[in-house]
Amino acid sequence: MLRPEHAADPAGESFVHQLEAMVPHMRVFARKLCRNDDLADDMVQEACLKAWAARDRFIAGAPMRPWLFRIVRNAYVQHWRRAWRSSSLDPSDAEKFLIAPDNQEWASDFQVMQEALLHLPDKQREALVAVLAVGFSYEEAGHILGCSEGTVKSRVSRGREALASLMDTPHSKSGYDESAPFEPGQAA
């Protein structure tokens, strides 16, 4: 007996054959949405993978076109929700940024930032790391940290301010005073 995802519909086509037949139509739709052939092909590939993963939810005999087009559209929307955080880089500009400067102050700055991070309250440090270092959205970080999106935004904002003030504060040669943890509202 055939499993439901491989069962033939009244026309005798399997899910795979229907999906393969819809790929050119999905490409046309995606290219009109994206106005970029490479991005459109990526959206179609992602939609095919999602459709395959959700094939058990597809009702045999139902029209596949609207279902697949909805998946393509959702993939497109999801792409732009993530893409606003990234920007394209001109190859000539990339050369300027990829060349390491002669001085290595950035390594020292990184160490100062790491030390300053240790002096932040745990909740601010966790929010900063989740959003800025790992790259989670505020909503995702909220789910992970067990608080609301607004709380994460507030913690990141306060954490940035505290981190900046800690990094700007002149400190001893050995670093920060380990015996005095940073408290919110305390002058660094």
Phi/psi region, residue 131 (left: phi>0; alpha: psi -120 to 50; beta: rest), is alpha
With contact defined as beta carbons under 8 Å apart, do 44 and 84 qualify? no
Q: What is the pLDDT of residue 97?
A: 67
Unique residue bearing structure tokens 């393509």: 72
Q: Is residue 73 part of a domain?
A: yes
For residue 120, the domain's CATH number is: 1.10.10.10
Nearest to 181 by CA among 108, 99, 127, 125: 125
78 and 124 both lie in a single domain: no
- What is the residue-level pLDDT of the chain in tens, covering all 188 positions? 344 444 444 433 588 899 999 999 999 999 988 888 899 999 999 999 999 999 888 888 888 888 999 999 999 888 888 877 776 667 777 666 666 656 666 567 778 888 888 888 889 988 988 888 888 899 988 988 899 999 999 999 999 999 888 888 654 434 444 444 544 444 44
* Domain membership of residue 120 as a residue range: 105-168
How many structural domains are present in the chain? 2
72 and 129 both lie in a single domain: no
For residue 35, the domain's CATH number is: 1.10.1740.10
Give exposure, 43-65, as e/b (b: 16+ Cβ within 10 Å). bbebbbeebeeeeeebeeeeebe
Q: What is the pLDDT of residue 2?
A: 43
With contact defined as beta carbons under 8 Å apart, do 141 and 175 qualify? no
Q: Is residue 33 part of a domain?
A: yes
Q: Is residue 95 part of a domain?
A: no
75 and 116 both lie in a single domain: no
79 and 11 both lie in a single domain: yes
Alpha-carbon dihedral 71, 72, 77, 83, rounded to 10 degrees: 120
116 and 62 both lie in a single domain: no
Q: Is residue 181 part of a domain?
A: no
Q: What is the pLDDT of residue 133?
A: 82
Bridge partners (DSSP) listed for residue 140: none
